[in-house]
Amino acid sequence: MRLSTESSIDNHKILLFRRTILSWFQIHGRYFPWRNRKCAPYQVVIGEILLQRTRASVAGDFFNKFLMTYPTWLDLAVAEQADLEKFLKPVGLWKRRAMALISLARTVVERGGELPTSRKGLESLPGVGQYIANSILTICLDKREPLMDVNMARLIERFFGPRDLADIRFDRYLQDLSRKILSSGPARELNWGMLDFAAIVCRARNPLHKDCPFAGDCSFYKDLGGTSHEDEAILR
């Protein structure tokens, strides 16, 4: 059994990770319209739903078009599912996404247009799981919740060490460690920084070791013997 995060992870390493991510994000962070601090909860939710299993660049290009066509929960609640499916085709998963969006919109309209402010309440809504609930809590309500997806999980595991469970939602190590990282500093920017860094540098395939500020301290890089794929090609 793994030791608790408190005892197994060096606080200095967490501080180094946090500072490096924030510094990198200030220079290289991506812009998406749903990251605007002025976004209403509706816009945040739409952005996150559009992102599901869709490239961020595609969702970003489609976001404003969606809001122009369906600007409020009510507009979405009264939409014809067939029309919404056709509209969503450019971002994929249109049938499932249309059904989820309409069901969620109708539930929110029944609540008077307001989203719950607790995790339990948010996760009781149709189509709202841990990730979207955490997005609302962090971006709209100034909480410190991790936007944990496979990319953030990969980055944390590579730097700090592997998780125990296959399902990242229930892995205590990842969840505790991500909250430790978010315990200080701007939670939104830390979350976005981890997501962007994982997408741009710490990629699933062919990570950019030469461009990685963590290379000297990264467990994954050390396990490779301190060589990148590019280095290995040169050595061969």
- Under a CB-based contact definition with an 8 Å cutoff, are residues 107 and 101 in contact? no
| 2-29 per-position pLDDT tens digit | 544 544 578 999 999 999 999 999 999 9
pLDDT of residue 226: 66
Q: How many angstroms separate the Cα of 6 from the Cα of each of 3, 174, 177, 181? A: 8, 12, 8, 11
| Rounded to 5°, angle at Cα 177 from 173 and 183 | 150
pLDDT of residue 228: 47
Query: What residues contact residue 188 under an 8 Å CB cut-off, 6+ apart?
Result: 35, 37, 138, 139
* Distance of alpha carbon 191 from alpha carbon 232, whole angstroms: 32
pLDDT of residue 217: 82
* Mean pLDDT over the full length of the chain: 90
* Distance of alpha carbon 54 from alpha carbon 60, whole angstroms: 10
pLDDT at 31 over 80: yes
Token pair 């962007």 is at which residue? Answer: 196
Where do the domains of the chain lie? 5-30+145-235, 33-140
> 37 falls in which pLDDT band (50, 70, 90)?
confident
> What is 5-30+145-235's CATH number, 3.40.50.1370, 3.30.70.360, 3.40.50.2000, 1.10.1670.10?
1.10.1670.10
pLDDT at 230 over 60: no
Does residue 71 or residue 56 have the better pLDDT?
Answer: 71
* pLDDT, mean of residues 46-59: 92
* pLDDT, mean of residues 176-186: 96
pLDDT of residue 113: 95
CATH number of 33-140: 1.10.340.30
* Distance of alpha carbon 134 from alpha carbon 149, whole angstroms: 11
pLDDT at 166 over 60: yes
pLDDT of residue 227: 54
- Under a CB-based contact definition with an 8 Å cutoff, are residues 77 and 109 in contact? yes
pLDDT at 224 over 90: no
CB neighbourhood size of 4 (10 A): 11
- Under a CB-based contact definition with an 8 Å cutoff, are residues 171 and 150 in contact? no
Lowest model confidence (mean pLDDT) among 26-30, 101-105, 163-167, 228-232: 228-232
What are 151's two structure tokens?
């990319």
Does residue 6 or residue 218 have the better pLDDT?
Answer: 218
pLDDT of residue 162: 94
